Each structure stands twice: as structure tokens, then as C-alpha cells.
Structure 1
Amino acid sequence: MKTIDYWVYLAFSAIKLFLFSLYTDTPFSFGFFLISLSSALLLSSWTLLIRARKRRWILLSLLALHSTLLISDVWYYRYFGDLLSVQLIPSMTQMNDVGGGFLSLIRWTDFLFFADFLLFLLFIFALKKSRTPAQKTNGKLAAVIATVGLLLFSAPLFMSIAKGERWLTGDATSNMREYYELGFWGYHGYDFGKGVVSIFRDPIPSEQDKVLLQKAAADISTVNKGEQPNIILVQLESLQTSVIGQKIGGEEVTPYLNTLKEEMLYFPSFHHQTHEGRTSDAEFVINSSLHPLRTGSVYTRFPDNTFAPLPEALKNGGYDTAAMHAYEASFWNRNTVYEHIGFSHFFSKKDYPDTEKIGMAINDEDFFTTSIEHMEKLKEPYFSFMVALSSHIPFEIPEDKKQLALPGYENELVRNYYHTVHYVDGAVEVLVEELKQRDMWDDSIVIFYGDHDSGLTEAGREMANKLDANGVTEQFELARQVPLWIKPPELTQGETVETVGGQIDVAPTIFELAGIDPGFMLGTSLLSDTERMVVFRDGSFRKGDVYFQPDLTTTPGTGECYSIESGEQIDGSACEPYIDEALDQLRVSDTVIEDNALEYIK
């Protein structure tokens, strides 16, 4: 057969796409196979215009490139639940934010993606030995294959447009929806095109987006209603709710944090709303009451755009504002972003002693005690935002700090996660006791919260198995719930507050406690009686007892509805009234961030 090398190439490409779906546990429908095959035909048909001997080596190179992109997407998907994008390029220098944790994502079977390279290489040598005469180019066949590819690729797109589906008009909530609609190569091609267009695009919101924005807009003035308390906001790295109250082998993982329920308001149904920016997303959501981007981090993609952030409003209301993070000031572009959103001071690595490191930076205990010294130099009232680091993935901790026995746990990364969290628990105790001894506790608003989960919550793995959290709702709670403690000034008795909320609600809560009117905020105060909806970047949401999990293989608005209490799937009518509201909230947030849209309502 004159073109057998080309057909073998297509067969290997199709097998690898199936392997990708298998490794990522994503659907592989016949329609998805056809759309992916069509883009492969379009991208490779030109090779038939080249003589066979050269073509075979080109096809071998294409297989290697395909495998490299596939395996990279698999690893990225396992951590972020999304695919790589060219818009992540500004964030690539920050990838050590994940660090050695990526090693936990790699499995030896992943390298089967490159098996076709070896097999095709053997195939080339076998063809050489057969002394097959050099063939002419196949122009007619190339044209037919390109035409078939174009028809297969275009037909579902025209059908989607005819139905008025919005996914291709900038309304998608996740890259995965475009992946299912366009196929593997179609997604990456479309993503590349969007990346190029974004360079030249004039960021002006559409009329429809302006209407949504005006509807969501609040009074953006800042009003100081009286004497203001100091505010201490502490972000704890990778702290998920499952560790609070957890015992392993009879030992409490977080003995001190467990007792904080007695003197602070504790919110067990609080959720992180981060996406690909992880820690930087948590900071952004907490301080802006907006959602993270669906691709990349606001800190690296839109650091100079206009928001109505918490630090700026507090600063305008008379507060001295300071951010504290004992790592490189330029990491995640914090030195630029912190100043832009209203922090008057930024204490970074250079402002902390060179003491024992745990993980990326000095240990949390020394970080907290030094941060208190910085706070004492601020003018009152002050807003202090501390970002801790000791429990950062890959959870490296000295042997003498490992105080838990952890019987039954074999995964070293999981064991070290519990060890670092146990250490952080003790560091928080030191912080609270220091604040009390220096009379900085009683009259202040003090808040602790987890920035995101551990990244070790995947169903079927050790942590999920031990916690019996492999069902849909159990997985949601394990991966999304992070603890939150709030101490208003002069609180005399702690309380567990069952209110459902998310990180987007923290800034409005602080404004209420401080007696300052918030600016443009999508969240609502956790101290109000409002039954809020907690929306996540992929369009999923929780409202009260219901949890909606969208079906990203089709158009927005479809998915499955669950009861958190029972863990069972329930009738979709319980979720249906809120689906468009969730999508609109994401759209408003994207418009504010990407189109600098607050300029249009100020």
C-alpha cells in the first residue's frame, strides 16, 4: 500500500487520544472521536504531498510532538482539572508554586504515549529493508483527506451555531468545554488563535456585558462609619477542612485549630474558589470578591487592571495596609499587584530573618512572630494580610518536626502533608498567644482560612480512600472545603456557623465588621442571613444543600444535581433556577477583569 505509513500514523494518533481520555477519566464519545479525527486529517494531509521516505520521518516527528503535548496535558489536568493554554505562558515562571508536587502526578503508564514513536521507528526500518521503490506524491489523496477533514470538523460547528449555543462566543466557563466541542487539536488551535487575538484585542465590554455589569454593580464609594478595628487576615497554605477534627491512630492532626472553635466563629461549610492560579487565585478572590480566570492567574495576566479591592477600600477608609509573605517579592508578580490593589507596605523575604526553612521559606512560627513585629510598627487602624507557606506542596519538613505516627498511611506525600499541617497547627497557636500577650487580639478582627486543598484529594487515591470520599459529593467536599475562622472584636464565645459560603464572601464580611461600605463585590457577608450561592470556575455551584456539577461535554446549563446531605443525585429542578445566575456571575467577573470594565461604571 503506497501510503500505509500515513494510515499507521492516523491509527496511532487515534489510540493516543483514547489513552488520554482513559488517563484523565474524560468521555470519549463517537462524536468526539470524529471531531478529533477531522482535525488530525486537516493537520496531517499535507504530508502526502511529500515523497514517502521524507514523509515517514516527518510523521515520526509529529507523533513525538503529539505525545509530548498529550502527556503534558494529562499531568496538568490531574492537578488543575483543565488543559494547557498559551495564555498560561506569563505564569510559567511560577510553576514551582506546585514544585515537587508534580511528581505525584506522574505514573509510569503515562510514558506509553511514546510507545508509538518506537513502533513507528521500527516500522520505518522495516519498510527500508523491503526496498519499496520511492513513490510519487499523492496530491489528489491529500486534497480528498483535507476536504473530508474540513467537512467533519465544520458540520458540528455549524450545527452548534445554528442552535445558538454560546460556547464559541467567549461564554465558556472552562477550557474543557472547548476541548469536547473542538477535539484535541481543534482546542489547541482555537486556544492559540485566542492567544494571538488577545494581544491585539481592544478590551471593551459588549453591550450585553455592560448590562450585566450595571445590574451587579453596587455603590463603589468607601464610607468610614466610625472608629475602626485592626484587621489581621491570615492565609494558611493547603489547609483543607477534612483535617479539622481528624484523628489518625488516635492522634489529632490539628489539636490547636480544633480548639479555636471555642473562641472564634468557625465555618465548616466554607469553600475555596481557586482555579489554575491556586495560591494567587486565593489571594485575589479574598481581596477582590471576584472569581479567578478560567486560564492562568490575574496576578500575571491582568496585574494593572482596575478592581475594587479590599486593601484599597480600607486604605481609603483610613487604614494602614500591609501584606506579609516571606518569599521572593516578585513571585506571582506580588510586588506589582500588592501595590496596585492598595497595600502601602509589602514585607517579603528580605524583611524576615534567615532562620530554619520549612519548604519554600522560613518556618511559619518565625514568619508569624516576625510579622507581629512588623504589625507593631504600623499605624492604627491597620490591615495586615499574612500569607503562610510551611504546608506548601511538596510538603517538605525536617524529620524532627514529624510528630505524628500516621499508622496505615503509606504514600509519603500524604504522610508529609499531615506532618506539615500538624506543624502549622502549632505555629498558629504561637501566633494567637503572641497576639494575646501583646494586646493585639481582643479588639481586632482576626481571620484564618485555608487557601486551597492539598492537591492529594483525587478519588481512588490514599487520602480519599481513607476518608471514604470517593462519591461525587464527598469528592466535592474533600477537594473544595477549606476551614474559616473569624473573630470579631470583643467576641467572648466561639460558635460553629453552618452558613454556606466561599472565599468571594470574605471581603464583604470584613467590610461589615469594619463598618465600611464595600465597593463592587460579587460576594455577600457571611454574617448576613442571605442564602448565598458559591460558584466555581467550571460553572459548578453549591446553594444550600444542592450541588450542581455541569456536563462540560455539551452546552452550558446541562449537568447533574446532587443533595449534599444524602450524597444522592436528585431531580434537576432543584438546581435549574440557579444555573444561569452562576454563569452570569462568572461572566460579570471575567468582564471586570479582562475588559477593565469597572472603568465603565465608576
Structure 2
Amino acid sequence: MNRLNSFFLDFLDVVFFIVCVTFKILMYGRHLETGYIKIISLFIPAIAPVIIIISISLILKAKARSRMLYIFNIVISSFIVSDIIYFRYFKDIISLPVLISGFQLGAVKSSVSNLMNIKDFLYFTDVIFIIPFVNRYVRKRKNKFPLNYRISIAVVLLLFGIGMDFISFYGLSKEQPRLLSAMYNKVYISRKLGVLNYHCLDIYNSLSANITKMTPVSREKINAINTFMDNNKSDNKNLKGYSKEKNLIMIQVEALQEFVINASVNGQEITPNLNRWVNRSVYFDNFYYQVAAGGTSDAEFMTNNSIYPAAAGAVYFLYSGNKFSAMPENFKNNGYSTAAFHGFRENFWNRQIMYKKFGFDNFYGEKSYKKDESIGLGLSDRSFLNQSLIKLNNMKSPYYAFLITLTSHFPYDDVDKYGDFDVGNLKGTLLGNYLKAIHYTDEQLGVFLNALDENGTLENSVVMLYGDHYAIPKDKEQQLFKFLNVNSTSEMDWEGLQKVPLLIHFPNESVKGVNHVYGGEMDIYPTVCNLFDLPGKNMFGKDLFNPKNQKVIFRNGSFIDKNYYSSSQDDVYYDVKTGKEVPENSSLRKDKEDVLNQLEYSDYILKHNVIDKLDK
């Protein structure tokens, strides 16, 4: 008994590391849990990597061991807190490519600070208040256990930990064979394998991907992509060339979601101007954002290229050296002048480089505007749109103009400058602040569109307007459900709220009405090619006026169409009409396989820079 007691005291730092870190990982898993994975099932993948770390530390002397475990505890706690904060907004887990472009967070530090919760830092409680005292005690004791004895225990624990980890990895690989290599659903991996295993796998795959870039291009893979592209083309019977030689004015609106259209708060329309323009345009009411970690940059990448965003990180950083077959270049090759407009820093999201790659003649960024009014992150939408109107009037027709608004950017905390829009009992909430922000942006868009109408620009122009991504983070879902009087809170209900508006206004309102086709941001470029009679190839999207299918694919492997929604994060299928779960069948299994193939093809194009090698 004395010997056992002495062993326990000599390795008190090890005991506390096992207990504290395992507890943190399980609590982290609970934070990501949505009801489909039991916390108890996370115990083995949570403790297995902890045992592996412990086994290595046992070889060291007490002082070095306690220092090593302390550092690991801090690193693990930091990963957990970073993941939780990131998940709160992006509904995803942070990864190495995201960290590489992490300096971008410096420009949106107010957004990050608003995502933080004081409870998050409870994960550091043991690091600050307990472990230092335990380590000091252990270092003062005279360890009586020789090196060969510690090595023997270390080897046994190492093999035991690796064995348990192997069971977890093998089980997940059998369940979803491509998941561990493609990493298309990081949340699911983290739920099933725990935070430590996920980040180790992420680092391994990130390094492996960089090595893979240097391998020769597979002709077999190129042929498979070409076959898919050929089969994916639309027939283009409807509205073929309908807008040929007209101007295209495309407006990407920051955080504009579909639920605000034709909705009211406290007896007032939230977006009265957009409501009016919806009635004057073709309006797509089943249109979804498809962004990943790149946020706004992912939206503009997809709409201008019809290629999926990167599985981790942002295309604008990871693949800025690639060649692209983008919409601006396509227009330029057909005699158009092209320009991009955004009132924020030119180097943010690497736009000054990427816009040249895409074929824009000009990029009017922050330096091209007089910063006479600032709201939120930067130049107000009122000033941006007023100044952009002057620049548009000076463009040579026909032209393609791409505008990105800014004021309605999360966290919507510049409430005093949004005007006196009364949101009633939502005042002071995130949702209430968002409604004030988007009401302000709606007002400025109304002024801008009215000006285009009054000066005759719309007589020779098509206007496409859409939202780039979600506005309300998932951790604030209850505010949104309550506002919309949604009683059920299933993943199907939440996904139904991830729509963004898309309206296309034609000259003289020659085509208008509500279109119920299921689509997403990937489909804008093919639709433009059809309307403007541009050559369209090597695109993953579909022409919304001539859809061969209505499937919308998300970066994490989920998908939705008019019949089913597949939630990859929970590995569950729903009937869209009833909202109820349905069992997997052969048809859904094939759909899932097709979805993963598309994402794999898109990743291959980006990783190997082969867009110019297709169709050859």
C-alpha cells in the first residue's frame, strides 16, 4: 500500500493530466454534440491520445516530464478554445490552412471578440490554479523508479494507446471511407475522434497535400473530371443568349439572408426596397450559400468560377498562384470591360492578386474611395454605393461590374449609425442588431437601384443580387427560431434557414416571377453564360433556368434538393417536405457518392492547378 501510495504521489502530475485533459476533451465533444453521437462513445478516442502523450512523458525525469505535460495541457486547451470560438460562427473546426491565413482576423477583431464567451476560458482553470502547484510538489519528491522501469511502463501504455486509437480510426474509415483523407467534414471527425486526433490528422493531411501537389497529374483523374463536366452541362434551351451584349451588374450583399425578405418586425418591413425589387425580378426562393472557411471570399470565388471552395482555408490564399477560367475573363474575351468594387482594403482576402487572376480590368478598393463615412468595418454602404454609381457611369458598355457591400458585416455593433429602425423587444440582441444593419443596407440598395433605373442604366443592364453567407451564428439559433415562430429545432429546420436571396432583374422587367428551383452560388456563373451567350465549360454548377438536377452541394459533404436533405455532420437524411428523418437507401447512397466525387474533382483541380489541362 505504501509503495502504491508513493507511486501515486510521484506521478501526481500524470494523474492530473489524464483527468483534466480527458475531461476537457469530453466537454469539448459535448459542445459539438447535436444528439446523434453519445458522449460516452467519445471516451476511447478522447483518452487514447492522452495515454500516448503520457507514455512518452514517462521516459523523462520528473522535472522535464511535468514541464512537458504542462505545455501539452496549454496547447490542447488553446486548440479547444479556438475550435469552440471558430465553431460558434463558422459551424466548422479550425484547421492548419485556416491558421495560415489567420492574420486576416486582425481586420475583423471585433467579430472575433463578439464570438468569445468568458466560459470558454474555464478550460484554462487547471493550467492556472491547479497544475503549477501539483508540478511544484512532484519536482520536490525524489522519484524512486529507475529508467528501465519507466520505459517498460511507457512501452505498454504506448501500445495500449495506439491500439485504442487504431480502433477509433479504423471504425470511422469503415463507416465513411473517404472522410479521413478528404477531411470534407471536420466537425464529424472531431466528434468521432476527439480534438487531439482531429488536429493530428489535420496536420498530417495538410502536409501530405503539399507533397501531393508535386506529384504528376493523373490522366485517369483528368479524364474522369472531363467526363463529369460533359455530363453536367445544361441543355440551355430557355433564355439562351437572352441578355447578350447587355451590361451585367452583380451585387454581393454582406450577410443578406432569405428570411428577412418580405418579413416584418414591430409592424415594419425589414427590407422594403428589396421586397419591391423582388417583385420586379426573377426571384429564386430556394437559393443557398455554399461557403466554407473563406466566408465572403468563397462566395465571390464560386460565383465567378463555379468551383467549390477549399476543404480547409481559403482559395484566395492557398491557390493564388493557380490559373482560372473565371467570369470576368470570359466577358473580356467577348468585348466587355470589367471591374470589381469594394470599399475595403485591397489586400484583404488577397483580392488585389485574385481579381487580376480572374480577369478584372480594374479593382476599385479602399484607396479608390473617399472615406467620408465609416460604419462597422469601414466605408458605409451609402457612401460606397453613391461613389460606385459615378464609377459605373464612366464604364464603357458593355461591361461586367461586380460590387460587394460591407456595412451589414457581423457583429452588427455600430447600431447608433444604422438609423432609427425600431426592432421592438429584439433591441440589444444580436438578431435585433442584424435586422437594423440589414435594414440600413436595404435602404442604400434601394437608393442605388432607383438611381440606375432613373438614369436609364437598367434599360440596357441585367442586375443580379444575392447574399454571400449566413448572418446569425448557430449558437444564436434560438433567437432566430423564436423570431420566426419555428417550434422544431432539427438540423432540417436549421438548414432551411440557410437560404440567401437571389434576384435577377431584366431590362423592362421582361422576365419576372418566383422560381422555385433549388440552387446555390455555384450556379450563378453557368446561368450568366447562358443568358449572355458566353462559352461555358469546366463548371460544377448548373444553369438555373435549365437545371438538369436541383441538388445543392455543401463543402462539408451535405446536400439538399427538392426531396431530401443529407446532413453529413450527423450522417442523417431528412425528407424535405415533412422534415422527418428517413433511412438511407440505394438512391441516397449513390447521391452521396456522386457528391463526394464532385468535391474530390474540385479539390483536384485546385491542388494540381489543372483548369487549363481539362478538355485536352
Matched, 1:123 2:134: yes
Q: Which residue of 32, 38, 46 corresponds with 1:24?
A: 32
Matched, 1:216 2:225: no
Deviation for aligned residue 1:226: 9.6
Deviation for aligned residue 1:571: 4.0
Query: CA 1:217–1:52 in structure 2 vs 1: closer, same or farther (change >3 Å)?
Result: same
Deviation for aligned residue 1:17: 0.6
Deviation for aligned residue 1:439: 1.1
Deviation for aligned residue 1:310: 1.0
Opposite residue 198 of structure 2, the aligned amino acid is Y
Residues of 2 paired with 1:160 and 1:261: CA distance?
Answer: 46
Query: CA 1:97–1:505 in structure 2 vs 1: closer, same or farther (change >3 Å)?
Result: farther
Task: Report the 3-state secondary structure (helix = DSSP H, G, I; strand = E; otherwise coil) of the residue aligned with 2:552.
Answer: strand
Matched, 1:306 2:323: yes
Q: Which residue of 522, 532, 535 corresponds with 1:517?
A: 535
Task: Report the 3-state secondary structure (helix = DSSP H, G, I; strand = E; otherwise coil) of the residue aligned with 1:461.
Answer: helix
Residues of 2 paired with 1:181 and 1:494: CA distance?
Answer: 47
Q: Find the counterpart in structure 1 of residue 426 from structure 2.
A: 409
Q: Find the counterpart in structure 2 of residue 592 from structure 1.
A: 605
Within 5 Å, which residues of 2 pair with 1:128-527?
Answer: 132-136=141-145, 137=147, 138-157=150-169, 165-168=177-180, 170-180=181-191, 182-201=193-212, 202=214, 204-206=216-218, 209-218=221-230, 228-397=245-414, 399-458=416-475, 460-469=477-486, 470-478=489-497, 480-492=498-510, 494-527=512-545
Residues of 2 paired with 1:398 and 1:411: CA distance?
Answer: 9
Deviation for aligned residue 1:227: 5.1
Deviation for aligned residue 1:254: 0.7
Query: CA 1:369–1:22 in structure 2 vs 1: closer, same or farther (change >3 Å)?
Result: same
Say which is worse superposed, 361-370 or 497-506, in terms of deviation: 361-370
Task: Report the 3-state secondary structure (helix = DSSP H, G, I; strand = E; otherwise coil) of the residue aligned with 2:251.
Answer: strand
Task: Report the 3-state secondary structure (helix = DSSP H, G, I; strand = E; otherwise coil) of the residue aligned with 1:524.
Answer: coil
Residues of 2 paired with 1:587 and 1:570: CA distance?
Answer: 26
Opposite residue 5 of structure 1, the aligned amino acid is D
Q: Find the counterpart in structure 1 of residue 101 from structure 2.
A: 91
Q: Find the counterpart in structure 1 of residue 568 from structure 2.
A: 550
Deviation for aligned residue 1:235: 0.5
Opposite residue 142 of structure 2, the aligned amino acid is P
Opposite residue 600 of structure 1, the aligned amino acid is K
Structure 2 unaligned runs (5+)?
1-7, 234-239
Query: CA 1:200–1:166 in structure 2 vs 1: closer, same or farther (change >3 Å)?
Result: closer
Opposite residue 152 of structure 1, the aligned amino acid is M
Q: Give per-residue Cα distances to partners, 1:111-145, cap 9 Å, x unaligned.
A: 221122222234345667xx743334422212221
Opposite residue 51 of structure 1, the aligned amino acid is K
Residues of 2 paired with 1:204 and 1:417: CA distance?
Answer: 48
Deviation for aligned residue 1:473: 1.9
Task: Report the 3-state secondary structure (helix = DSSP H, G, I; strand = E; otherwise coil) of the residue aligned with 2:387.
Answer: helix
Task: Report the 3-state secondary structure (helix = DSSP H, G, I; strand = E; otherwise coil) of the residue aligned with 2:249.
Answer: strand
Q: Find the counterpart in structure 1 of residue 588 from structure 2.
A: 575
Residues of 2 paired with 1:342 and 1:578: CA distance?
Answer: 35
Deviation for aligned residue 1:13: 1.1
Deviation for aligned residue 1:347: 0.7
Residues of 1 paired with 2:60 and 2:547: CA distance?
Answer: 70
Given that residues 283 and 512 in structure 2 are in contact (C-alpha distance below 8 angstroms), is that contact kept between their aligned partners in structure 1?
A: yes
State percent identity of aligned pairs. Answer: 26
Given that residues 307 and 593 in structure 1 are in contact (C-alpha distance below 8 angstroms), is that contact kept between their aligned partners in structure 2?
A: no
Residues of 1 paired with 2:266 and 2:584: CA distance?
Answer: 41
Residues of 1 paired with 2:283 and 2:477: CA distance?
Answer: 30
Q: Which residue of 573, 577, 599 corresponds with 1:561?
A: 573
Task: Report the 3-state secondary structure (helix = DSSP H, G, I; strand = E; otherwise coil) of the residue aligned with 2:359.
Answer: coil
Q: Give per-residue Cα distances to partners, 1:165-205, cap 9 Å, x unaligned.
A: 2333x334222344356442222222222333344431544
Deviation for aligned residue 1:213: 0.6
Opposite residue 153 of structure 1, the aligned amino acid is D
Q: Find the counterpart in structure 2 of residue 538 from structure 1.
A: 556
Matched, 1:107 2:107: no
Residues of 2 paired with 1:44 and 1:468: CA distance?
Answer: 50
Deviation for aligned residue 1:332: 0.4
Q: In the comparison of the two structures, how many residue pairs are matched?
A: 590
Task: Report the 3-state secondary structure (helix = DSSP H, G, I; strand = E; otherwise coil) of the residue aligned with 1:165.
Answer: coil
Say which is worse superposed, 171-180 or 237-246, in terms of deviation: 171-180
Matched, 1:12 2:17: no
Residues of 2 paired with 1:184 and 1:200: CA distance?
Answer: 24
Task: Report the 3-state secondary structure (helix = DSSP H, G, I; strand = E; otherwise coil) of the residue aligned with 2:221.
Answer: helix
Query: CA 1:120–1:371 in structure 2 vs 1: closer, same or farther (change >3 Å)?
Result: same
Deviation for aligned residue 1:155: 4.1
Q: Find the counterpart in structure 1 of residue 5 from structure 2.
A: none
Task: Report the 3-state secondary structure (helix = DSSP H, G, I; strand = E; otherwise coil) of the residue aligned with 2:338.
Answer: strand
Residues of 2 paired with 1:196 and 1:4: CA distance?
Answer: 36
Q: Give per-residue Cα distances to partners, 1:199-230, cap 9 Å, x unaligned.
A: 4431544455323311123499xx99995111
Say which is worse superposed, 458-467 or 14-23, in terms of deviation: 458-467
Task: Report the 3-state secondary structure (helix = DSSP H, G, I; strand = E; otherwise coil) of the residue aligned with 1:8.
Answer: helix
Task: Report the 3-state secondary structure (helix = DSSP H, G, I; strand = E; otherwise coil) of the residue aligned with 2:250.
Answer: strand
Given that residues 238 and 391 in structure 1 are in contact (C-alpha distance below 8 angstroms), is that contact kept between their aligned partners in structure 2?
A: yes
Deviation for aligned residue 1:356: 0.7
Deviation for aligned residue 1:336: 0.4
Query: CA 1:489–1:512 in structure 2 vs 1: closer, same or farther (change >3 Å)?
Result: farther
Deviation for aligned residue 1:159: 6.3
Task: Report the 3-state secondary structure (helix = DSSP H, G, I; strand = E; otherwise coil) of the residue aligned with 1:217.
Answer: helix
Opposite residue 368 of structure 2, the aligned amino acid is D
Residues of 1 paired with 2:540 and 2:404: CA distance?
Answer: 23
Q: Give per-residue Cα distances to partners, 1:452-506, cap 9 Å, x unaligned.
A: 111334465322332244232221122x200011012332463111111101111
Residues of 1 paired with 2:223 and 2:479: CA distance?
Answer: 47
Given that residues 573 and 584 in structure 2 are in contact (C-alpha distance below 8 angstroms), is that contact kept between their aligned partners in structure 1?
A: yes
Opposite residue 473 of structure 1, the aligned amino acid is M
Query: CA 1:61–1:95 in structure 2 vs 1: closer, same or farther (change >3 Å)?
Result: same
Q: Give per-residue Cα distances to partners, 1:525-575, cap 9 Å, x unaligned.
A: 1112533210001111111132111256xxxxxx32212232222343373
Structure 1 unaligned runs (5+)?
553-558
Query: CA 1:70–1:489 in structure 2 vs 1: closer, same or farther (change >3 Å)?
Result: same
Query: CA 1:373–1:249 in structure 2 vs 1: closer, same or farther (change >3 Å)?
Result: same
Task: Report the 3-state secondary structure (helix = DSSP H, G, I; strand = E; otherwise coil) of the residue aligned with 2:504.
Answer: strand
Opposite residue 231 of structure 1, the aligned amino acid is L
Q: Give per-residue Cα distances to partners, 1:25-64, cap 9 Å, x unaligned.
A: 2645555422332222222322212232443343233222
Task: Report the 3-state secondary structure (helix = DSSP H, G, I; strand = E; otherwise coil) of the residue aligned with 1:234.
Answer: strand
Say which is worse superposed, 16-25 or 137-146, in terms of deviation: 137-146
Query: CA 1:325–1:161 in structure 2 vs 1: closer, same or farther (change >3 Å)?
Result: closer
Query: CA 1:468–1:594 in structure 2 vs 1: closer, same or farther (change >3 Å)?
Result: farther
Deviation for aligned residue 1:405: 1.6
Task: Report the 3-state secondary structure (helix = DSSP H, G, I; strand = E; otherwise coil) of the residue aligned with 2:538.
Answer: coil
